[in-house]
Chain A
Amino acid sequence: MKPTDRYHIIMYMLFSIICMPPALRAEIESNIIIPEEHHIVTLFTEGDGDRMRVSKIKHEQNILFTAGRVNEKTVVMFPYDKTETVEKAKSKGEMPEYRKMKRRGLFHDDGQVCLMPVSLVPGKNTEVQFATSTSRPGFGSMIILGEEYPVRLFTITYKMPAALKDRIDIFERNLPDSVEITRELSPNGKEYQIRLRAKDLPELKFDADAPCVRSIVPHVMLSGLFRNVNELYDLIHEYVKGDDPEEADVIAFARELTAGCSTDMERLYIIQDWVRENIRYVAIEAGDLAFTPDRPSEVLKKRFGDCKGSASLIKAMLQAVGIDGRLVWIGTDDIPEDFTAVPSPGTANHMIAAALLNDSIYYIDGTVGPSPHGYYLPSIQGKQTLIQNGDHPLIHRVPVLPPEESTDSVVISGTLNGSAFVGSVTDDVSGYYKALLANRLRWGDDDFKKQYPSRFISEGRKNFMISDVSIFGLEPSEKNATIKGAVRIDRVLTESGNKIYFNPSLYDMKGDRFDMKNRTQSGMRPNICRIVRELHLQLPEGIAVEKLPEGFGVENRFMDASVSYGVEGDVVKCRFVLVWKQRLIPFEDLTAYNADITKMNKALLQRIQLTNSNI
């Protein structure tokens, strides 16, 4: 499904050739300023009374630009797609240019962009006008308050017939306190208006590793275009009702595939695994294809499809073998809202399948490649689902898996050889890490396949060399996969006379810190998981422990981490356990969170002191 939200203006420099990156400076003031930006959104209706519905929405934008200090030439970008008609595109003395909009991850869609050159001179305003209309209301009504430049005055006016007064409103998120919102009927009582007025909006900025755009930028959307989830479901369900004249092929195939299975769970998993292994993700989302899945028989024949295509094939295959398969609309973590809070097609940007079996709901995402059974990607965990269910949808939620379900546990055992540590390594992975490993190995060429397990274990430490690698348990039916190999870690010792400092190099947490320089937004971690690192050092003859580092641990809302050191016989054992418990780190907690990471990392930097009686 395609995100239909409108990120309405993006700017970039036309003459990038002369815009070399600037040297470091404390404060940067934008040369470009938007003195005024006005949006007028007009809703047109058809029908009367209870049958009245919004049939068309017109969105007019009027933006004034000026330069603060020197001349500048920029290009304003207005994205749109085939559900919209461009009614006006105007900038004084300039001609708009229309281009294909390229969106990452999509093989083909109908996104276009209007490029409007703007020449700016200090002290003079340049006006840009852009207007579109859509006869598919509800598929994209988001307006972000702000631009990549400071906006002095920003207004939005929603105009609609008075009859919509008690039905249509706005859904707002992250609005600054200064925004004034008024709602009133026109003097003649025929028109209802909702007005927003904001002053001095700062430039929009997106920090690295921040939560999704929709959860951080101030924006508004029309609410009430769908009275509730059921009404939304009525619309989007229409798109998936098509027949499949060649469904017999799918039925025959599914039955043949599951012929050896004795339980429904076996059938479910074999279908899930087959689709994930054999249906390539190719997203073609132009026009209705953005909402309508390809026929299951077509997906089966072509061996490719987008999320809707793979979901529809899974559903059909499940049904073919007697399992209650359904389609499921879901918004990934790019969308913060639930369907029940914001019943809009834009609340979904993904489709998966579900099997209703033994009083449980099993979700199947066909686009994730080889992944262990029962595992869901972090991007959909905890997200509300709208499950196809006759005339009324089921509302449910993808479970949030505990950290233990995604474990990466490395145990290294060995001894010293010169200044190197040599021995063996075992890496047990489950959940997220297993899916990552399996997918990377699947999509890499031969050289990559040979090198990746070593890279996976080394985690960027250049003195690690892993050889004689073997991998077990990559099948999705296995909970864990295991990498085994020989390891050589060079230069682990710093020597001084008979004193040796051994660097166990268990783990490096510096990459887990958030850069706080100029940061204003919360942080988002990629997943919740459990990481274990163990190192067992068999002490060579003549070498003894002089002093072990002290154990250390931190616990907070986001993580539990601890490192411990001990000796058993002539083996030194170091163990680090890290449990990431929560993905979102609110901005107000980031400093303390970083401080905990720094403390923990310092503990991990500790050296083990050994003595060498051979000298």
Chain B
Amino acid sequence: MKKGLILLGLILAVCFGAQSDTKKLNQGFLKKAAKMVWNQNLPQFNPNAELTDTIFSDVSAANIAVYYYFSADRHEMNTLRDGRIPPKEWRLGETEAIFLRRYMTKILDEKALEDLSTFTFEPSSQEKIEQFLIMEENNAFGARIYKPDGRVIDVDMKQTLTDGDGKKGKNAVSHKIAIPGLEVGDVLDYFFYTESYFLGNSGCSYTWKIMSDYPSKSFLVEAKLDPSLTTVVSAYNGIKAPYRFNDREGDVCMKWDSDNLPALKVPTFSQPARQLPIMRIEIADNISEMFNHPKSRRSPGVFFNPPVRSTLPAVAEHFATRKWEGADMSKAAAIMKDYRKANPDVTDTEIADATFMATRYVTYLSKDLYTPWDMTSFMKDLLDKQEIESVSYLGVTNPRTDIDVNYITGYSDGTPVLSVAGKHYIFTSNLALAPGEIPPGFCGEPFFKMAGKRKSLYDNFFYTEDRLPKETAAINSAVFDVDVTIEDPDESWVKLSYDATRKGYFKSLAGAIAETSDMVEAYEEKLGIPQKIYIDTKRGIIHKGNRFDKGKIEEEQKKKLEEIYKSDLGIESMDVDSLVIDNFGFNVESPEFRYHIAGRVEDVLAPAGDDVLLNVGRLAQVVQVSEKERNEKKRDISIFTPGPYNRRINVRISVPEGYTVDKDALQSLAKQTTGRTGVFMSQVDYDDENGQIKLTLVKRNPAMVYNPSQWDEFRKLHEDAASFNDASIVFHKE
């Protein structure tokens, strides 16, 4: 067997793609897995275990035991599976891994019975490149029921149903089993078992949530790893390090356990990726040389929470290896050339801003799909082509909704960033983001950056650490100027129109409001692109009013409008006459998203004899308290808000003709609550001459994170602000 032939096979495979297939359910494999699991000698799996801890009271179900097991073994491969012998100069390995998740759960009510009465598991699959089996995954599920009277019933897996794709539904996409005979009071012992095989360095990873929806009496994680593989174990958010030792066979073993682990409940105002325990394990065969290895690969061994600097070379290499096909780069370069010609005196910052927009425009309309990594690298190349004086840096960071960048173990864990002349460019799907504007969640986050031409980064691993600018309440602001008109005090509706100005993270709603084609056209105008010349017709770009179902469009519009006015003012229902967008917010000079909405709101004027009450609280709400927040009396973890912000609603109400406003009742609406967790303020002003009432509502959130001990204060501020939501203004008939 010649190495050349294998390579030819691989080249063909690259040309024609790997072939991935799912397999029929193999009852023999299910039996084998069940035998292995049921024969485990784990004393924790005792169906009669007492559940005495308070964490087990008032719950739907309780885990008596949870067990995760992972093992991986690498074998040097002297013979391929088809019997052929690979060239001796190759180091080719095959890895076999086992991953087991086993739960023994006592069912305590119908909710748990419903939740645990049906299970779905993945079909087994394999992937081949030509004749080479490069990946195989065999999955099994099994369950047994322990009845209170001592009976033990194994679930007959022959009852498994298979959903499949294909003309006759034969290509399995999932297996399903309904657990027969399960009742409240039973103990269900069930498992998901996977045997994986991979050839060479294809690798695999698993993320484990070290918590369950139910409290767990015993939670045990064990791993047995071949030291010739590269294994990265990451544990975040306060998980203790696993106990590590070598067994007689020289494998690296790890053990992690915890007793009486409470149920996972995600509280309001939290960031699960930063606050809830997660464990992750990734394995790779970095010795085999069948496929291209990244130069930056880790050496064999087990790495626990490796420092980010050991991951940064992989980030650099990923940047360096991006390639552009087709004409997108030349289109973007042409756009920038025209832009520079039309704007000869622009600064480096202005060039970088325009480059960011040109990158977004071209990659967005391209027939190829660009990841943020591609877009960032594309922008870097486009910028380098223009040879500006300012140094640009490629870097990596992460938003607060993801793990801290200091914990990433591969480039794909992070988010790319490009820094130029003190500004930072991050690509997200929100087209309303202005160039250099830090997207929500990234402000104040650390990042690692490096200088140099993109392609030179292969060998340049010298990152410097920096931090993205912190956000302020001024950056994240929303202002709503509302006019309320009572046309007929005998009716129960009012006319309402308002101007909304959203900045910073409040702009995230822009995508829901603005039509993409309008934004694309605005990009063209800003960059001086003759309209639509770069639209790739193959992609079928959608232009105005060009949608598929009238009924669905109407329904979507209604839902989106509901989302908008509810988010703006807390109004539950409004008959909207018009929505006009004044500014998309992607201009550096005017980064606010501005729009105007007008319509009619029903059921807000209440008669009281000859008097009329306007329930203004239903038209202007700066805070709404959810039922979940209201019911969270205790707080154990930090309070994460979206960021510091200012939110302001200015309401103007003309006193209806023939009526006077009750000034005492009006004055009683003025309130203020100030504390360490923010400010709520409602101010009133009455202009006697013009018969106009002015109401100002302000909610200020000064910080992003608060201590758990501040929860009561935090909630009180919200409740005080929400108390305005029932406020009324009284008008007396003259």
Name A's B-contacting residues (CB within 8 A).
11-13, 15, 18-25, 27-32, 69-74, 82, 86, 97-100, 107-108, 110, 112, 114, 119-120, 148-149, 203-208, 278, 280, 282, 284, 286, 301-304, 442-448, 451, 455, 462-463, 490-491, 494-497, 501, 503, 508, 510, 515, 517-518, 546-547, 549, 598, 601-602, 605-609
Interface residues on B, range: 35 or more
**Closest chain A CB from B368 CB (angstroms):** 13
Q: Please name 18 pairs of A and B residues whose Cβ atoms are closer than 8 Å in the assembled complex, sorted by A.
A: A18-B542, A22-B544, A25-B545, A27-B545, A28-B554, A30-B548, A31-B545, A70-B546, A82-B169, A114-B167, A302-B178, A303-B183, A447-B631, A463-B726, A491-B727, A598-B492, A606-B608, A609-B608
Q: Does B386 contact A (CB under 8 A)?
A: no
Alpha-carbon gap, A476 to B183, bound state (A): 20
Alpha-carbon gap, A252 to B494, bound state (A): 68
**Closest chain A CB from B628 CB (angstroms):** 9
- Do A98 and B607 touch across chains, with their CB atoms under 8 A apart? no
Residue of A nearest to B666 (CB): A496
- Do A21 and B492 touch across chains, with their CB atoms under 8 A apart? no
- Do A282 and B511 touch across chains, with their CB atoms under 8 A apart? no
**Closest chain A CB from B630 CB (angstroms):** 8
Alpha-carbon gap, A582 to B314, bound state (A): 68
Q: Does B375 contact A (CB under 8 A)?
A: no
Which of A13, A114, A547 contacts B609 (CB under 8 A)?
A547
Could you tell me the dominant secondary structure of chain B's interface residues?
A: mixed
Which B residues touch A25, using CB under 8 A? 545
Which A residues touch B722, using CB under 8 A? 462
**Closest chain A CB from B613 CB (angstroms):** 6
Q: Does B525 contact A (CB under 8 A)?
A: no
**Closest chain A CB from B251 CB (angstroms):** 41
Q: Which of B111-119, B441-449, B678-686 contacts A (4 or more CB under 8 A)?
A: B111-119
The tally of CB-CB contacts under 8 A between chains A and B is 234
Which of A24, A72, A607 contacts B578 (CB under 8 A)?
A24
**Closest chain A CB from B259 CB (angstroms):** 22
- Do A98 and B561 touch across chains, with their CB atoms under 8 A apart? no
Which of B164, B542, B579, B728 contacts A23 (CB under 8 A)?
B579
- Do B492 and A601 touch across chains, with their CB atoms under 8 A apart? yes
**Closest chain B CB from A485 CB (angstroms):** 15
Which A residues touch B538, using CB under 8 A? 71
10 more A-B contacts (CB under 8 A) besides A112-B167, A302-B181, A605-B605?
A24-B576, A73-B540, A494-B728, A501-B611, A501-B613, A547-B608, A601-B603, A606-B607, A606-B608, A607-B613
Alpha-carbon gap, A282 to B117, bound state (A): 9
Alpha-carbon gap, A301 to B180, bound state (A): 7
- Do B542 and A19 touch across chains, with their CB atoms under 8 A apart? yes
Q: Does B515 contact A (CB under 8 A)?
A: yes
Alpha-carbon gap, A156 to B165, bound state (A): 30
- Do A107 and B118 touch across chains, with their CB atoms under 8 A apart? yes
- Do B548 and A607 touch across chains, with their CB atoms under 8 A apart? no
**Closest chain B CB from A179 CB (angstroms):** 21
Which of B114, B537, B553, B611 contacts A28 (CB under 8 A)?
B553
- Do B541 and A18 touch across chains, with their CB atoms under 8 A apart? yes
Which A residues touch B181, using CB under 8 A? 301-303
Q: Does B625 contact A (CB under 8 A)?
A: yes
Alpha-carbon gap, A108 to B112, bound state (A): 21
User: Which among A12, A20, A462 has the highest number of chain B CB atoms within 10 Å?
Assistant: A20
User: Which among A18, A284, A490 has the highest number of chain B CB atoms within 10 Å?
Assistant: A18
Residue of B nearest to A10 (CB): B549
**CB interface residues, B 106-159, toward A, < 8 Å:** 109-114, 117-118
- Do A23 and B513 touch across chains, with their CB atoms under 8 A apart? yes
Which A residues touch B512, using CB under 8 A? 20-21
Alpha-carbon gap, A372 to B431, bound state (A): 55
- Do A280 and B113 touch across chains, with their CB atoms under 8 A apart? yes
The 3 closest A-B pairs by CB, nearest first: A205-B551, A302-B180, A607-B608
Which A residues touch B118, using CB under 8 A? 107, 282
Q: Does B465 contact A (CB under 8 A)?
A: no
- Do B117 and A280 touch across chains, with their CB atoms under 8 A apart? yes
- Do B723 and A490 touch across chains, with their CB atoms under 8 A apart? yes
- Do B608 and A501 touch across chains, with their CB atoms under 8 A apart? yes
- Do A28 and B608 touch across chains, with their CB atoms under 8 A apart? no
Alpha-carbon gap, A43 to B321, bound state (A): 62
Alpha-carbon gap, A203 to B58, bound state (A): 52
| Given A99-B165, A112-B167, A112-B169, A22 contacting B551 (CB threshold 8 A) | no
Which of B548, B579, B662 contacts A11 (CB under 8 A)?
B548
**Closest chain A CB from B585 CB (angstroms):** 15
Which A residues touch B176, using CB under 8 A? 107-108
Which B residues touch A148, using CB under 8 A? 548-552
- Do B163 and A108 touch across chains, with their CB atoms under 8 A apart? yes
- Do B602 and A22 touch across chains, with their CB atoms under 8 A apart? no
Contact with A along B589-627 (1 / 0, CB 8 A): 000000000000011011111010100000000001101
Residue of A nearest to B166 (CB): A98
Alpha-carbon gap, A378 to B575, bound state (A): 31
Alpha-carbon gap, A444 to B664, bound state (A): 46
Residue of B nearest to A68 (CB): B546
**Closest chain A CB from B28 CB (angstroms):** 23
| Given A13-B548, A28-B547, A70-B546, A86 contacting B167 (CB threshold 8 A) | yes
Which of B546, B558, B573 contacts A510 (CB under 8 A)?
B573
